[in-house]
């Protein structure tokens, strides 16, 4: 790896966000095979990479569609020709309605709702677009994020969707905690019975998350899965057992720029590169060359190294590779990823939807 | 404020990063006056706003120069005509040397070093540029970040700078903990005596930090101060007493998109907008309209509201204004800031150096 490190430091400088396309290809193929083995469609979440080029690799491997978290991401993906997009987020307010209305004619769009305000916004957008819009009901079975908490709320939303001539009920979107398969099944079964009572059928039952790949297909009725992080993996995925070191496709190359004390040092990657997402872990990343060195805290451009547990210590000028705690936020910090295959740089991949928070 | 909120939600959508230029102007003028009252030059740190337009406001108010944390920021500022730039960071490696050599002829550049590898890199860059380069020695008097920890190390670096025909010794750069004035003074006095023994004089003694404004000019010999956050302020500055609510120029406008439980809700701003920088605080921001609501945790695009301590609860669709924990990282998430004066939108300000981590 020394040669590649030298090339990246020389040609791009550090910190640099680098992905290995061989590992990316392997990760994409493995998830696709897992979905197919269980008869599920694969709808990868592009919030991890925000790149039409990488989404195209997922599609070419067999993905049936993609998932976006924000309308701005969906617009970028529609621009790039993606034609089956689930936006897994409540879209609310006039600005979102207007943009959604413009997007609806351009692709198959499915939107998620957990409340009547969002459903009414979708009806208005579909009316303006002059084309029916599919709505999936987001259900919360323990994560306490978005999603209706009760089957009664789910049924009430399904009725509201049914009552709108512009909307089509698509099904249920789940993002259950990894240990909540049984309670999620119970919720889903009851919700399915409820909507059948309304004369509706769910064409999509969507599960989500890379940590939930261990549960893939375990919820009866599932038709598709949304995973994002699996394409690169990170320290959180290592910690939960969803990935091994060889599956980690993304590294941040960073230089040791200070060693002012014998037991400490400074990396040129801080919270503006690796971000402060901690994900329940200790420290801010895994240094491949010095796994006992702890990235203890951050300033914006400084990663504070605690070297007290590391028998070997890096020298000033050393370039090291860090697996970040959370890749999805790291990719979003940069305008392009440096792509390698093994020891060779093969190009750059724009993060076209970086910063598309609106 | 209701009218402005409606306008921003309608014209820009949420989440939106909004600055009030009246407050910005007030904050700039106040720091400038404080520096002048103490006979100090003002060298604001542009890492907070990353915007030539805002740096120009600081210069027009009287700033003698600017501070940049990264070479990429300095390049953007030189492109915009700034001609007196301190880069307060060790620059190491061939890629940095080449870019620094290209930058040196374009402006007065002062670079910081805490180790011989950086000093040698600077000599090489200056040699290639064919123009002497000023080097300031970064000193650590308790923060344990970058900076020589001992006076002996400082003197040794000064000797190395003196020995290079391409380099000019500029002085000392301090970033002392707020409670370490006395020990910083002792370090500085001893270091100054040491370099005088080498026949050198320090033309710059630079202190730093918005929390250190309470110490402004208290370290004898100081010639200039570098503050960044003061231009906007944030929840960390409120917590340390460096700012009051009326001094907070930046708000993130965000919409309540889910209220699935009676004591909780979801904002459409998560760690990809407000970032996970915690700064020793509880929670992730202050909601102006619901100060008892706690932003308890984040997903990338979800801010999890704990409303249990809030007697009033927001409704789905409500737009609220959040003072982030740490503005410097929030500005870096977006390509432009929305500028207002009081209740009126007056324009957009590009964050030209966003993401310039290299």
> Does A126 lie in the same domain as A244?
no
When the pLDDT of each residue in chain A is averaged and rounded to a whole number, the result is 97
> Does B222 lie in the same domain as B325?
no
> Does A161 lie in the same domain as A127?
yes
For residue B268, the chain A residues in CB contact (below 8 A) are: 89, 92
B93 closest CB neighbour out of A95, A301, A317: A317
The answer on pLDDT for B1 being more than 60 is no
* Per-residue pLDDT at B272: 98
CA–CA–CA angle A153, A155, A161 (5° rounding) = 105
Mean local confidence (pLDDT), B257-274: 97
Round to whole Å and give the CA distance between A126 and A51: 27
B31 falls within a domain? no
CB of A73 closer than 8 Å to CB of A353? yes
> Does A97 lie in the same domain as A174?
yes
B26 falls within a domain? no
Residue of A nearest to B141 (CA): A260
pLDDT more than 90, % of chain B:
99
> Does A10 lie in the same domain as A39?
no
Q: How many CB pairs under 8 A join A and B?
A: 194
DSSP letter, residue A31:
H
pLDDT per residue as tens digits for the range B172-197: 999 999 999 999 999 999 999 999 99
Position B330 confidence tier, pLDDT thresholds 50, 70, 90: very high
- ipTM, 2 dp: 0.97
Flag if A257 and B89 touch (Cβ within 8 Å). yes
* Per-residue pLDDT at B256: 98
> Does B334 lie in the same domain as B226?
no
φ, ψ at B350 (rounded to 5°): -65, 140
Q: 3-state class of A330 per DSSP?
A: helix
Round to whole Å and give the CA distance between A66 and A46: 7
Label residue B307 left, alpha or beta by phi (over 0 means left) and psi (-120 to 50 means alpha): alpha
> Does B271 lie in the same domain as B123?
no
Longest dimension (CA), chain A: 71
Tell me the CATH number at A77: 3.20.20.10
B278 falls within a domain? yes
Residue of A nearest to B264 (CA): A144
DSSP readout, A166-211? TEEEEEEEE---TT-HHHHHHHHHHHHHHHHHTT---SEEEEE-SG
B25 falls within a domain? no
Flag if B13 and A70 touch (Cβ within 8 Å). no
> Does B239 lie in the same domain as B221?
no
Round to whole Å and give the CA distance between A91 and A96: 6
Residue of A nearest to B8 (CA): A95
φ, ψ at B297 (rounded to 5°): -160, 175
Q: Which of A296, A290, A292 is nearest to A314 (CA)?
A: A290
When the pLDDT of each residue in chain B is averaged and rounded to a whole number, the result is 97
> Does B240 lie in the same domain as B214?
no
Mean local confidence (pLDDT), B15-36: 98
> Does A275 lie in the same domain as A225?
no
Choose the final residue of a domain: A196, A231, A266: A231
B139 falls within a domain? yes
pLDDT per residue as tens digits for the range B123-149: 999 999 999 999 999 999 999 999 999
β B167-174/B204-208 pair status: parallel
Tell me the CATH number at A282: 2.40.37.20
Flag if A13 and B96 touch (Cβ within 8 Å). yes
Burial bucket for residue A64 (CB in 10 Å: 0-12, 13-18, 19+): middle
B257 closest CB neighbour out of A90, A268, A272: A90
* Per-residue pLDDT at A2: 59
> Does B269 lie in the same domain as B148?
no
Round to whole Å and give the CA distance between B146 and A287: 19
The residue count of chain A comes to: 358
What is the per-residue burial (b if ≥16 Cβ within 10 Å, else e) of B159-173?
ebbeebebbebbbbb
Flag if B333 and A317 touch (Cβ within 8 Å). no
Choose the final residue of a domain: B231, B256, B278: B231
> Does A323 lie in the same domain as A208?
no
A187 falls within a domain? yes
The answer on pLDDT for B61 being more than 70 is yes
A356 falls within a domain? no
pLDDT in tens, chain A (358 residues): 558 999 999 999 999 999 999 999 999 999 999 999 999 999 999 999 999 999 999 999 999 999 999 999 999 999 999 999 999 999 999 999 999 999 999 999 999 999 999 999 999 999 999 999 999 999 999 999 999 999 999 999 999 999 999 999 999 999 999 999 999 999 999 999 999 999 999 999 999 999 999 999 999 999 999 999 999 999 999 999 999 999 999 999 999 999 999 999 999 999 999 999 999 999 999 999 999 999 999 999 999 999 999 999 999 999 999 999 999 999 999 999 999 999 999 999 999 999 999 9
DSSP readout, A126-161? HHHHTS-EEEEEEE-SSS-SSSBSSHHHHHHHHHHH
Round to whole Å and give the CA distance between A226 and A66: 8
Choose the final residue of a domain: A231, A246, A273: A231
Token pair listed for A186: 């119970």
Number of domains in chain A: 2
Q: Which of B318, B178, B317, B196 is nearest to B240 (CA)?
A: B178
B355 falls within a domain? no
B304 closest CB neighbour out of A145, A275, A277: A145
Residue of B nearest to A306 (CA): B144
Position B2 confidence tier, pLDDT thresholds 50, 70, 90: low
Range of the domain at B198: 38-231
Flag if B115 and A259 touch (Cβ within 8 Å). yes
Token pair listed for A262: 């014998």
């Amino acid at each position: 790896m020394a040669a590649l490190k030298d090339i990246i430091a020389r040609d791009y400088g550090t910190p640099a966000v680098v992905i290995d396309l061989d590992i990316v290809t392997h990760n994409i193929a493995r998830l696709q095979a897992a979905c197919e083995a269980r008869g599920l469609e694969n709808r990868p979440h592009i919030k991890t990479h925000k790149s039409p080029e990488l989404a195209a690799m997922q599609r070419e491997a067999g993905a049936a569609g993609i998932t976006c978290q924000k309308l701005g991401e969906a617009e970028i993906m529609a621009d790039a020709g993606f034609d089956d997009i689930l936006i897994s987020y409540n879209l609310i307010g006039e600005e979102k309605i207007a943009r959604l209305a413009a997007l609806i004619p351009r692709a198959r769009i499915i939107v998620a709702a957990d409340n009547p305000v969002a459903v009414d916004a979708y009806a208005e957008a579909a009316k303006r677009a002059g084309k029916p819009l599919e709505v999936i009901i987001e259900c919360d079975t323990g994560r306490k994020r978005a999603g209706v908490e009760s089957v009664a709320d789910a049924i009430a939303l399904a009725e509201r969707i049914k009552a709108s001539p512009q909307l089509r009920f698509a099904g249920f979107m789940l993002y259950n905690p990894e240990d909540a398969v049984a309670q999620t099944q119970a919720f889903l079964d009851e919700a399915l019975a409820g909507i059948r009572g309304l004369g509706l059928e769910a064409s999509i039952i969507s599960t989500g998350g890379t940590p939930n790949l261990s549960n893939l297909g375990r919820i009866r009725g599932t038709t598709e899965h949304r995973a994002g992080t699996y394409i690169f993996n990170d320290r959180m995925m290592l910690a939960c057992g969803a990935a091994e070191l060889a599956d980690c496709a993304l590294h941040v190359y960073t230089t040791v720029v200070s060693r002012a004390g014998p037991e400490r040092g400074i990396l040129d990657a801080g919270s503006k590169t690796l971000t402060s997402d901690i994900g329940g872990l200790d420290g801010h990343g895994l240094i491949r060359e010095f796994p006992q060195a702890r990235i203890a805290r951050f300033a914006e451009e400084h990663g504070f190294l605690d070297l007290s547990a590391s028998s070997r210590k890096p020298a000033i000028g050393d370039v090291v590779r860090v697996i970040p705690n959370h890749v999805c936020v790291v990719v979003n910090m940069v305008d392009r990823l440096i792509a390698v295959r093994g020891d060779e740089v093969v190009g750059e991949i724009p993060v076209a939807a970086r910063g598309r928070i609106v």
